[in-house]
Amino acid sequence: MSKFEIRKRSKSEVTILDIYGELDAHTAPILEKELQQLIENKFVHIVVNGSGLEYISSAGLGVFMAYIEDIRSQDGDIKISSLKPKVFNVFDLLGFPTLYDIVENEEKAVDRFK
Amino acid sequence: MSLSNATDDEKKSRFGLRTLLDTSRLLIESHDVDFVLNNLLLISMGKLMVNRAAILWFHPKKNTYSVLKSKGRHTLSAEVTIRRDLFKKQSTALCAEHQELDHVCKHGFEMLIAIQNSERHFGFLALGPKMDGTEPGSEEIEVLESLVFMSGIAISNSELVSELRATNRKLDYKIQELFTLFDLSKSFNASIDREEIKRIFKFTLLGQLFVRRFFLIIQRRGEPHLVSQNGLGTTPDRQQMQDLFAVERNIVMVDDDIRKKHPFLEQVQIHLLLKLNSDGQEPAVIGLGKRANGVDFEQTDLNFLISLGNLALMSIQKTYLLEDQIEKERMEEELSIARSIQKRLFPDNTPEVPNLQIAATNIPSYQVGGDYYDLIRDDDQNLTMAIADVTGKGVPASLLMANLQSVLHVLQPFDISLVDATGQINSLIYQNTPSDKFISFFWARFFHHNRTLRFVNAGHNPPLLFRKGSEPRKLSDGGILLGAMPTLMPYKEMVVQLQKDDIIVMYTDGVTEAMNSEEEEFDEPRLISCVESRMDQLPEEIMEDIISEVTTYCDNHFTDDLTLIVCKVC
């Protein structure tokens, strides 16, 4: 079984990525690939639902950094929702909340695009 | 102590340590440069919160750098030079502090960190500005430098590993080749079936070297033979094949020059020619098309091909030799059967008739010969004696001789004159033989009650009649050789009145044409004097003496069959 998994959904204009498992150097390319595809197809309103995310490493955080500029230049954004406290701590620790919308639940995240 | 109790700074530094630990584990395990660099980019971006990062890879030959891998937006696309001396004391340089780096930094980067180990410089990690607008702290830089340093080690490790892998692969391939050759030599040796050898050759070319289009031409007795081919679509003719043996080198890449000389090579898309010369054997040429995987032939492939070709060539030649051997043995066996049949065509023993003592023999120089003699006694105790020499030697001559023998025996019971019988025999032989085959033939019938001899000589060396006190008489009357032309005129029969102690010697040219070392023939006079000095001896003794004199004369080098009949009237 893979350590990391992504499921993709749509809600109105927003693409929702449910991510599960551990996002680290090994699994980061899976998320990278997904984001690249979305950017290519101009689906730049993205919510990453992290309710299933168990662990994130620096490399995993790097993925969010690597594509944000492309997405924002197309008037899009990545909103992050539903993080487990343990995982949120890591985002928080490194100061991600100042740069990203990190919210409690998916609904709020989707609302931020309105 | 749990995370929640610690201060933010402690938490941060702990996360930094955690990152280093995780990364070091990752890097030690990874032997993939791409993964190492990707990971370095992502970690440093996540760690420092920068949204652009790039690996500037060093090209030692040009002393320049280009972007090997990047994430986020930047505008650096050309190759750049970077002054290495800026990184002598520390591995990190901030753009703000070094104007010399402006040409790099203006593309969206804030700092460069050298990726290197003690032996080699790989390039730089270039990072954009922190997204929160702050300057990177010294602790952050320290962690980054550690990451970069570990990555440098991981890169050289992975390069070493891939080098080892490549070497291992080459070795594996070599071993595989050796095994293939070993297997092949076993299968080739085990097989005397040429089709099987060709099949092995073909599948080895296909399977080991991915060569689908090829031919193998072997020279056999000076003639080229297309022994095996695949995918040519056409077959070269004799001259085209023969011309290939004129190539000067053993390995020839087919270029325009060669194509001009051998246009069909282009037509069948052959790109490589190998000429094989195994010791003392006839040569072979292998033509090969391009490999299906598009890889060019390397020296090791050529060595393998030559080994394979030589193995196949030797095995195929072996099958030819074996066939020749079998053929030879078969022919020898047939010849010895023919010889034993021929022996039985000669009389088993010398018949006894009144008033005549007889001795006769045939000594063949080949396994089967063309000489013939016969002694047939009829119901009245009269004796028919015949001696003949068929032109040529070996099986064809012996066949004709057997034919003559059967005719003679078929005619014998009939009361038919020598003249008519000779005419009939001639007609038969003439019809049954090609125009260049003749038989010299002498036969005579001895009537014991009045000691007369009737004879017909059809072109045979005249037998000699010796009588005490007179010159030997030659019994030469009769007609032409048997089988030369149809019987237009009857043969002539002569009658001789014999006396007691007369000696008749009938012989074939094996006696008179036996040669000494000076290439002088034994000839008739020697035969005559040999007999004349022994007029009082028994026919058996005279015959033995003639043979021994001839044998001595030619030093036992008989080139022809030798047949003798000696008889003495009593």
pLDDT by residue for chain B (570 residues), tens digit each? 444 556 777 877 777 777 777 777 777 777 788 888 998 999 899 888 898 999 999 999 999 999 999 999 888 888 999 988 888 888 899 888 888 898 988 998 999 999 988 888 999 999 999 888 888 888 888 888 988 988 888 888 888 888 888 888 888 878 877 877 777 777 777 777 888 888 778 877 887 777 888 999 998 888 899 988 888 888 888 888 888 888 888 888 888 888 888 888 888 889 999 988 867 778 899 999 988 777 888 888 888 888 888 888 888 888 888 888 999 999 888 888 888 888 888 888 889 999 999 999 998 876 677 889 999 998 899 999 999 998 877 777 888 888 888 888 888 877 788 999 999 999 988 888 887 788 999 999 999 999 999 999 999 999 999 999 999 999 999 999 998 888 888 999 999 999 999 999 999 998 998 888 888 999 999 999 999 999 999 999 999 999 999 999 998 888 888 999 999 999
Strand partners, B253: B272
Amino acid present at B197: I
List, in sequence order, every residue forming a beta bridge with B465; answer none if it has no partner: B473, B504
Q: What sections of B346-380 are H helices per DSSP?
A: none
CB contact under 8 A, B131 and A66: no
Q: What angle do CA A64, A68, A73 make, to 5 degrees?
A: 170
Residue contact B47–A62, C-beta within 8 A: yes
**Contact check, Cβ <8 Å, B46/A59:** yes
Which domains are present in chain A?
A: 4-109 (3.30.750.24)
Chain B residues within 8 Å of chain A (Cβ atoms): 3, 8, 11-12, 15, 19, 22-23, 26, 35, 38-39, 41-47, 49-53, 71-73, 131-132
Choose, out of B17, B43, B148, the residue to mutate when testing the contact with A (most A CBs < 10 Å). Answer: B43
- The superfamily (CATH) of domain B3-162 is GAF domain (3.30.450.40)
How far is B415 from B163, CA to CA, in rounded Å? Answer: 104
Q: How far apart are the CA of A62 and the nearest CA of chain B, in angstroms?
A: 4
Nearest residue, CB atoms, A70 vs list B44, B73, B131: B73
d(CA B328, CA B366) in angstroms, rounded, equals 16
What is the DSSP secondary structure assignment for residue B561, as one 8-state letter? -
Query: Would the CB atoms of A25 and B26 count as touching at under 8 Å?
Result: yes
d(CA B214, CA B235): 11
Among partner residues A62, A68, A95, which is closest to B132 by beta-carbon distance? A95
Contact between B109 and B54 under an 8 Å Cβ cutoff? The reply is yes
Instruction: Return the axis-axis angle of helices A28-40 and B33-48, rounded to nearest 10°.
Output: 80
Interface test with A, best of B42, B48, B73 (most A CBs within 10 A): B42
Q: CA-CA distance, A41 to A110, in Å (whole number)? A: 19
* Distance separating alpha carbons of residues B520 and B512, to the nearest angstrom: 10
ipTM exceeds 0.90, yes or no:
no
B3-162 against B191-321: fold identical: yes
Bridge pairing between strands B284-288 and B356-363: unpaired
Residue with tokens 């095994």: B179
**CATH architecture of the domain formed by B346-569:** 4-Layer Sandwich (3.60)
Query: What whole-number distance in Å separates Cα of residue B181 and Cα of residue B371?
Result: 57
Domain ranges for chain B, please list them. Answer: 3-162, 191-321, 346-569
Distance CA A114, CA B162 (A): 52
Alpha-carbon torsion, ordered B28, B29, B34, B40, to 10 deg: -50
Cβ <8 Å between A65 and B12:
no
Residues 6+ apart with CB under 8 A from B502: B465, B466, B467, B568, B569
pTM value? Answer: 0.48
- In this structure, which topology does domain B191-321 adopt according to CATH? Beta-Lactamase (3.30.450)
Nearest to A62 among B8, B12, B46 (CB): B46
